[in-house]
Amino acid sequence: MNPLVADVLRNAPVIDGHNDLPMQLRAQYGYQVDGLDQVRAGLHTDLPRLRAGGVGAQFWSVYVPSDLPEPEAVVATLEQVDAVHRMAAAYPADLAIACTAADVRRSWAEGKIASLIGIEGGHSLATSLGVLRAFARLGVRYVTLTHNNNTSWADSAAEEPAVDGLNDAGRAIVREMQRVGVLVDLSHVAPVTMHAALDVVTAPVIFSHSSARAVNDHRRNVPDDVLARLAGNGGVVQVTFVPVFVSAEVMAWHGALREETVRLGLPVVEEPWPAAPTPGVTPERAGPPQPKDRPELAGWLAANPRPEATITDVADHIEHARDVAGVDHIGLGGDYDGTDTLPVGLEDVSGYPRLLSELADRGWSGPDLEKLTGGNMLRVLQVSEDVAEEPLWPPSPAR
């Protein structure tokens, strides 16, 4: 490992904003948490590779689809939260549930990976402040305002805006999130929602897994006029590694594949939401068919091989975000186990040192790399705690 990078990761381990391991545990293993102390087939994430990647804190995403009925989404999200707590309980020498900046520092001092929780989509709140507060008491530290569908109170990047970003209920939910110490996450929301939230908030916001729209014009990326507001807010954009977000070439290939699928009259297959295990029953697992498994697409795929995103692509997004938002307002949010492919060199959670080496080769200093890896997010956690009027985190004997 590059000596500078090794020093950076000792001083400021990675605080990654988004990892979908809980969803994959549901989809592939019926929420069984055993075996994570070794490389586990079909996953991007396990304890040895987290250690190799210099990860010191992970926001585990507790994602459920945004087209679920809201009461059903609440139940499924509770199952995801339970999976994170069970995972930490199964590996007490390696993982520790964390809610505060002090918890993160304590975990590092004890040689553990701090495990934080983030809800990916406001549908999981069922438009209820009571549900929000209950999740906060279970350790949830951020809520992404939407996923890929609008809620009744906030607009998603994946649909036409319906409430001009946020309506009165949305503004009330955002204020309550900050009052109880839950971070407002603006990944997945429409630009109009980003601006509407920034007009309301009094504490830093985050983008848990988004990249720069000026580098690749994908709807999930953040426009420059929003990045420019982060310095005034104190927030952080955690740049993600998803190939379709970071590479214009990969994005164009996916668009062309979809067009060919429609032209051939084939159904566009989405990832199914797997059934959860019920008492005494573990459902059988079956993933969606992949393009390579559909013979009708064989000729097109042979003539149009999928391009690869690279570490260079990701570094370009990081540098653009730094140039527009400032070096104090950038971080990392890989989206591991939430995407089927990743850039070359970043195929799993052991890859962060290679990305940092690329940035070091571009002239980044140790102090600036430390801000990127964890320093900026640790500051955001601390500031959000300081301004919260009634922080609602589970009690800890250490606090």
**Do 271 and 173 sit in the same domain of this protein?**
no
**Do 284 and 372 sit in the same domain of this protein?**
no
Specify whether 195 is catalytic.
no
**Do 129 and 277 sit in the same domain of this protein?**
no
Query: Domain for residue 394, yes or no?
Result: no
Q: Which domain holds residue 285?
A: 248-306
pLDDT in tens, 67-96: 999 999 999 999 999 999 999 999 999 999
**Do 288 and 147 sit in the same domain of this protein?**
no
For residue 398, how many C-alpha atoms fall within 13 Å in the half-sphere facing its CB?
A: 14
The C-alpha angle 194, 57, 146, rounded to 5 degrees, equals 25
Which residues, in sequence order, are CB contacts of 223 under 8 Å at separation 6+? 191, 194, 213, 214
**Do 19 and 144 sit in the same domain of this protein?**
yes
pLDDT in tens, 100-146: 999 999 999 999 999 999 999 999 999 999 999 999 999 999 999 99
**Do 363 and 374 sit in the same domain of this protein?**
yes
- Candidates 147, 218, 320, 329; catalytic one: 147
Return the higher-pLDDT residue of 271 and 244.
Answer: 244
**Do 130 and 72 sit in the same domain of this protein?**
yes
Specify whether 317 is catalytic.
no
Query: Domain for residue 393, yes or no?
Result: no
- Would the pLDDT of 24 be above 70? yes
Give the DSSP H/E element, type plus range, for residue 90.
Answer: helix 70-90
> Residue 93: exposed, middle, or buried by beta-carbon count in 10 A (0-12, 13-18, 19+)?
exposed
pLDDT in tens, 230-264: 999 999 999 999 999 999 999 999 999 999 999 99
Specify whether 18 is catalytic.
yes
**Residue ending a domain, choose from 238, 271, 306:** 306
Short-list 19, 273, 336, 329, CA closest to 123: 273
Query: Domain for residue 334, yes or no?
Result: yes
Specify whether 209 is catalytic.
yes
| Per-residue model confidence (pLDDT) at position 285 | 60
**Do 168 and 280 sit in the same domain of this protein?**
no
- Beta partners for residue 281, in sequence order: 278
Return the higher-pLDDT residue of 288 and 180.
Answer: 180
Query: Lowest mean pLDDT: which of 222-231, 285-294, 390-399?
Result: 285-294
Specify whether 20 is catalytic.
yes
**Do 44 and 115 sit in the same domain of this protein?**
yes
> Please, which pLDDT band fits residue 394 given cuts at 50, 70 and 90?
confident
- Candidates 16, 44, 94, 188; catalytic one: 188
Specify whether 254 is catalytic.
no
Per-residue CA distances from 203 to 74, 162, 393 (Å): 26, 26, 17
Number of domains in the chain: 2
**Do 345 and 276 sit in the same domain of this protein?**
no
Query: Domain for residue 77, yes or no?
Result: yes
Average pLDDT, the chain: 95
- Stretch 363-376: mean pLDDT: 98
The C-alpha angle 37, 394, 62, rounded to 5 degrees, equals 50
| Per-residue model confidence (pLDDT) at position 396 | 63
CATH number at residue 169: 3.20.20.140
- Beta partners for residue 55, in sequence order: 14
**Do 283 and 187 sit in the same domain of this protein?**
no
- Centroid of chain to Cα 11: 23
